[in-house]
Amino acid sequence: KQEVTQIPAALSVPEGENLVLNCSFTDSAIYNLQWFRQDPGKGLTSLLLIQSSQREQTSGRLNASLDKSSGRSTLYIAASQPGDSATYLCAVSGSARQLTFGSGTQLTVLP
Amino acid sequence: EAGVTQFPSHSVIEKGQTVTLRCDPISGHDNLYWYRRVMGKEIKFLLHFVKESKQDESGMPNNRFLAERTGGTYSTLKVQPAELEDSGVYFCASKPGDRETQYFGPGTRLLVL
């Protein structure tokens, strides 16, 4: 059974810092990995999707890496801004495409 | 293009009552997923439709939950009778057949008293 763990559970940083969020999963037989953002009371917004054959994906100030063999992914946020404050969720997809989620990292970027 | 919509946004019901949640996927998306997050837990998969067919319902917690997707468009998730432990946020997501990214709706917040 796939299990996804996200560390840390919460993170508070001053504006402008670069930061890394971590995600690990127990079963390396994944199809892809997605990072989502969730704002309070809102739905999930997909940030980046990495296929199992890829090592990383970049979008603006975000960079996600994937090491499938070790069961790890990181989300790097450069030059953080208060608007980046949200809960960040990592989810892995198996062959059936259903997503298995971690419990999230709650990020606060202080002005 | 309209996103995934869910109705209602909030529902408060008493134990033993029935509630029906609705999800309208993005037009043209054959794949529709239901997930839920109960208090303090991570988001869990409930079931997956491809058009009107249930592809995978392995995450449905018990037979008090019934999902339908008549005509392969919108989907409903009925909870009957509702129990206290059903409280949580129910998310719907959709994706086209040739893409991997799932697009999520805002969720329905269900509170069973």
**Model confidence over B6-63: pLDDT tens digits?**
999 999 999 999 999 999 999 999 999 999 999 889 999 999 999 999 999 999 999 9
Of the candidates A69, A70, A62, A55, which has an alpha carbon nearest to the alpha carbon of residue A36? A62
Substitution target from B24, B45, B60 for chain A, most A beta carbons within 10 A: B45
Give Cα separations from A81 to A20, A36, A109 (angstroms): 14, 17, 6
C-beta atoms of A101 and B43 within 8 A: yes
Alpha carbon distance A86, B42 (integer Å): 16
| Spatial distance between the Cα atoms of B30 and B53, rounded to a whole number of angstroms | 10
Q: Chain B neighbours among A 52-111 (CB < 8 Å)?
A: 89, 91, 93, 96-104
B96 touches chain A (CB under 8 A): no
- For residue A9, CA distances in Å to A66, A70, A109, B96, B108 come to 20, 21, 15, 32, 24
For the cut 70, the answer to whether the pLDDT of residue A50 exceeds it is yes
Separation of alpha carbons A57 and A104, rounded Å: 20
- pLDDT number for residue A63: 97
Contact between chains at A49 and B45 (C-beta distance less than 8 A): no
Query: B98 in contact with A at a CB cutoff of 8 Å?
Result: no
Q: How far apart are CA B29 and CA B35, in angstroms?
A: 17
Does the pLDDT value for residue A47 go beyond 80? yes
Residue B1 confidence (pLDDT): 64
